[in-house]
Amino acid sequence: MIVVGAGGGGAVVAKELAARGLDVLQLEAGPRFAQSDKEWRHFENEANNPATGIFRFGPGDRTKPPWARDLPQNCYVWQTAGVGGSTVHYFANSPRAMPGAFSDYTGPDASLYDHEHVFPFGYRELIPYYEWVEHTLPVQTAAMGTKEDVFLLAAGKLGLPVQTSKDITRAAYRPQENAILQPEGTAGRTSDRRRLVYPQAKGCTFCGHCAQGCIEPMRSPVNLRAKRSTHASYVPMALTADRWARGKAVTLLPDAFAVRIETRRSGTDLSATGVAWRGVATEESGFEEAKLVVLAAGAVETPRLWLNSGLPNPNGQVGRGLTNHYYDHVIGRLRTRTNSSKGPASAARMDFPGHGSIEQIGLGPAQQAQSLTDSDAGIAGFYDNGFGGGAQGADAVSRHIRNRLTRFLADIDRVLAAIVLTDDDVQTDSRVTLSTTMKPDAHGSVPRVELPRRSARTIANREFLVARAVELLRAAGAREVVRVGWPPLLVHVHSTMRMGLADRDSVLDENAEARAVKRLFVADNSALANALGGPNPTLTTQALATRTAERIFTRYFGGDPWIGRETPVSSIDPAVTSAVVALG
């Protein structure tokens, strides 16, 4: 079988089925990052420049331009091509979805969710898959630094309770459940790099460079890196599945851009039969037949590949229904230290069922400056672009440039920032199509991402959350609080190939198999039915991908289910470490 994409979801399917002994070929358009400890850097521009950064959406050869997208509105796309996908720059926050996003939810607040686009199965059904992934990554309770201390103390002042369970059961605050190894030894206890070498240091060293890729602790085997991107967790397991399990190692082909899904018709059924790809560096064409294909190229590229392949789209839903949590950024300036630039990027949160979530976020100076200036709300005192949102108690809503920008950044470690993750509605006109204005590139027509006006519920949710974020920052002692009014930020991008209850409004059935093409599954964020109620999507995508792998194995390969019957092997298990070290 072939898996297209080695990011947050594809790596999970590949590892799970490789561990069952299947012959898995995994294609990845971006680079391998085989020597990540030498290739990745803590510097923000080196890592995150959208045109030249290591973590851009483009080829591994950084002298060449990134791959183009047609983006007909003010927006910013933050995706990485390469083994690990966007999990190489993600913050590793791994909350479970809100139960209200699923078909079995009957709570008193059920009407608050996007109930027309729920998951086609119940929340309880997903819990064993969550537990499997949480053990594999592993997901742990976040350790706190100064900024988390300040954030959580302020959340308590708002009268919210602490959430102590994995499940989100009520409006509450908590340290993140995140895929970052807790600090051990000297980690988090020194800035002396001579003492931050594995195994003297284990887990998170509080370096403050999550967005630049995690290469800590120094000299640790890749599967023991603190942040559990799939580059550090699922991919090493997939590549060594013959060693730590009685499986078969995945064949990983980086720099291979999938350009077409091949199909064959038998009677009334159309089935996937293989994948054609283009060597990004070699420009050679390749093709491999397969019994089954899993698409996991991301919520923009998966529908692009589908459409470029000319696959059927009988209900017109391919690419539609894009959700992205309609982020916003609220930031406060404090007299006291927060050490905002240090430690994990985001290790504390508040959840508001029916509305969404708020995360504490710490960044380096360049990304914090970008966060303060990326706005759809004009410049305070001059114009507002007709921005519909209110201040919600903040001192200004604006693209913060000039004096306010320099004032907020006068001490990076005395600011406290909160990101709003809105539970946004699935809207059919928010979508990915093929561009008709840009020339096709070497991989076919380029994707066009359109994000028109939001629903009233989405806007109301965002305003609600911004108001809570402002309250929190005031409670934390901020002497000045501003809202930025972000334009769409495409980091959490979901539901463009959504699974659903009905044929008419979804691409995938409840097994994540395409309704229109048999033996073709989707295992990235695009398979999600909705925006999950607001929580970060990666864990749910990974749980769903695990469930999808199990369905593939039982339905098409005659295997038995394993979730709930077997004990998962952690990606930090000594057997995996030995296998990774032996592989070299």
Partner 1 sequence: MARVTGQGFSRRALLERAALLAGAAVLAEIPDALRVRGWLEDAYAAGPNLVEQTINGLVAFVVPGRDRYSAAQGQKSRTPGGIEAGTTSAMIATLDRFLPSKPPLSATAATVLNQVATTVRPAAAHGKFASPFANLSFADKAKVFQTIEGFGGAEAGSIRFLFGNLPDLVAFLAYSETGAFDRRRGRLRRRPLGWALTRYTGTSDGRAEFKGYLGNRKTADPSA
Residues 169-188 that bind partner 1 (CB under 8 A): 169, 174-175, 177, 182-183, 186-188
Nearer to partner 1, 50 or 559 (CB): 50
48-56, 233-241, 290-298, 541-549 -> range binding partner 1 (CB under 8 A): 48-56
Under the criterion CB under 8 A, does residue 50 sit at the interface with partner 1?
Answer: yes
Nearer to partner 1, 46 or 262 (CB): 46
Residues 6+ apart with CB under 8 A from 489: 75, 76, 78, 324, 327, 374
What one-character DSSP code corresponds to residue 85? G
Please give, one letter per residue, the 3-state secondary structure of 228-277: CCCCCCHHHHHHCHHHHCCCCCCEEECCEEEEEEEEEEECCEEEEEEEEE
Q: Which one of residues 23, 49, 551, 569 is an interface residue with partner 1 (CB under 8 A)? A: 49
Query: Which position has the token pair 């686009």?
Result: 117
Q: Which one of residues 282, 285, 336, 406 is an interface residue with partner 1 (CB under 8 A)? A: 406
Output the smallest distance, CB 561 to partner 1, in A.
Answer: 20
Under the criterion CB under 8 A, does residue 303 sit at the interface with partner 1?
Answer: no
Beta 356-361 vs 415-422: how paired, if at all? antiparallel
Separation CA 484–CA 404 (nearest Å): 12
Output the smallest distance, CB 232 to partner 1, in A.
Answer: 16
Whole-number Cα distances in Å, 495 to 85, 130, 290: 17, 19, 26
Under the criterion CB under 8 A, does residue 399 sit at the interface with partner 1?
Answer: yes
Output the smallest distance, CB 238 to partner 1, in A.
Answer: 26
Nearer to partner 1, 449 or 507 (CB): 449
Q: Residues 128, 131, 137, 140: what is their CA dihedral angle, to the nearest 10 degrees?
A: 160
Under the criterion CB under 8 A, does residue 405 sit at the interface with partner 1?
Answer: yes
Under the criterion CB under 8 A, does residue 161 sit at the interface with partner 1?
Answer: no
Under the criterion CB under 8 A, does residue 428 sit at the interface with partner 1?
Answer: no
Residues 6+ apart with CB under 8 A from 189: 183
227-235, 295-303, 361-369, 473-481 -> range binding partner 1 (CB under 8 A): 361-369
**Segment 232-251, which members bind partner 1 (CB under 8 A)?**
none
Amino acid at 228: R
Under the criterion CB under 8 A, does residue 328 sit at the interface with partner 1?
Answer: no
Separation CA 554–CA 18 (nearest Å): 14
Under the criterion CB under 8 A, does residue 359 sit at the interface with partner 1?
Answer: no
Separation CA 168–CA 453 (nearest Å): 29
Nearer to partner 1, 191 or 285 (CB): 191
What angle (nearest 5°) sits at the alpha carbon of residue 191, between those of residues 185 and 195? 45
**Segment 484-513, which members bind partner 1 (CB under 8 A)?**
487
Strand partners, 27: 4, 253
Nearer to partner 1, 205 or 546 (CB): 205
Nearer to partner 1, 272 or 350 (CB): 350
Do 297 and 4 form a contact (C-beta atoms < 8 A)?
yes
Strand partners, 271: 264, 518
Do 181 and 197 form a contact (C-beta atoms < 8 A)?
no
Please state the separation of Cα 570 from the chain's center in Å.
Answer: 21
Under the criterion CB under 8 A, does residue 551 sit at the interface with partner 1?
Answer: no
Torsions phi, psi for 174 (to 5 deg): -170, 160
Q: Which one of residues 16, 28, 148, 550 is an interface residue with partner 1 (CB under 8 A)? A: 148
Q: Which one of residues 21, 103, 127, 291 is an interface residue with partner 1 (CB under 8 A)? A: 127
Output the smallest distance, CB 268 to partner 1, in A.
Answer: 39
Under the criterion CB under 8 A, does residue 166 sit at the interface with partner 1?
Answer: yes
What does the per-residue mask of binding to partner 1 show for 193-222, with x meaning CB under 8 A? x--x----x---xxxxx------xxx----
Separation CA 537–CA 520 (nearest Å): 22
42-50, 110-118, 531-539, 576-584 -> range binding partner 1 (CB under 8 A): 42-50
Nearer to partner 1, 169 or 251 (CB): 169
Under the criterion CB under 8 A, does residue 370 sit at the interface with partner 1?
Answer: yes
Under the criterion CB under 8 A, does residue 468 sit at the interface with partner 1?
Answer: no
Under the criterion CB under 8 A, does residue 144 sit at the interface with partner 1?
Answer: yes
Query: Which position has the token pair 């947050």?
Result: 8
Q: Which one of residues 158, 171, 253, 379 is an interface residue with partner 1 (CB under 8 A)? A: 379
The reply to whether omega before 535 is within 30° of 0 (cis) is no
287-295, 431-439, 500-508, 522-530 -> range binding partner 1 (CB under 8 A): 431-439
Please give, one letter per residue, the 3-state secondary structure of 358-383: EEEECCCHHHHHHHHHCCCCCECCCE
The first and second tokens of residue 37, run together, are: 């400890």
66-74, 231-239, 495-503, 562-570 -> range binding partner 1 (CB under 8 A): 66-74
Query: Which position has the token pair 């910013």?
Result: 76
Whole-number Cα distances in Å, 303 to 80, 292, 307, 383: 17, 18, 6, 37
Q: Which one of residues 402, 479, 504, 555 is an interface residue with partner 1 (CB under 8 A)? A: 402
Nearer to partner 1, 310 or 365 (CB): 365
By CB under 8 A, the count of residues binding partner 1 is: 96
Under the criterion CB under 8 A, does residue 140 sit at the interface with partner 1?
Answer: yes
Separation CA 165–CA 169 (nearest Å): 8
Q: Which one of residues 107, 158, 190, 393 is an interface residue with partner 1 (CB under 8 A)? A: 190
Under the criterion CB under 8 A, does residue 76 sit at the interface with partner 1?
Answer: yes
